[in-house]
Amino acid sequence: MANAAELLDTLSLVDCAAAIAAGDVSAEAITRAVLDRIDRFDGQFGALLHVDREGALATAASTDQARKAGAALGPLAGVPVTVKDLISVPGMPLTAASKILRGYEPPFTATVARRLRDAGAVIIGKNNLDEFAMGSSNENSAFGNVANPWAPDRVPGGSSGGSAAAVAAGYGFGSLGTDTGGSIRLPASLCGVVGIKPTYGRVSRYGVVAFASSLDQVGPLALTVDDAALLLSVIGGHDALDSTSATEPLGDLRSGPGSLEGRRIGVPREFLDDAEGLDPGVASCIRGSIDALKSAGATIVDVSLPHTPLAIATYYLVATAEASSNLSRYDGVRFGHRATLAQGEGITDLYERSRGEGFGPEVKRRIMLGTFALSSGYYDAYYERACRVRRLIHDDYVGALKSCDVLVGPTSPVPAWRLGECTDDPLAMYLMDIFTTGASLAGVPAMSVPVGTTQNLPVGLQLIGRHFDEETMIDVARGLEKALNLGVQRPNLDALADESKP
Please give the positions annotated as active site.
84, 159, 183
What is the total residue count of the chain? 502
182/431 Cα distance (integer angstroms): 11
CA-wise closest residue to 232 among 191, 186, 196: 196
CA-wise closest residue to 460 among 483, 436, 429: 436
Largest Cα separation within the chain, whole Å, is: 75
435/273 Cα distance (integer angstroms): 13
Instruction: Give me the numbers of helices (H) and strands (E) for the chain, helices first please.
Output: 17, 11
CA-wise closest residue to 266 among 474, 432, 466, 438: 466
Mind giving me the DSSP string for 149-189?
Answer: TTBTTB---SSSHHHHHHHHHTSSSEEEEEESSSTTHHHHH
SS3 helix, strand, coil % of the chain, rounded to 5? 45, 15, 45
CB atoms within 10 A of CB 66: 17
In 88-139, the DSSP E strands lie at 122-127
First to last CA, the chain: 38
364/54 Cα distance (integer angstroms): 36
CB 365 within 8 A of CB 135: no
Helix ranges (DSSP H) in 456-492: 470-483
The partner residues of 450 in beta bridges, in order of sequence, read 460
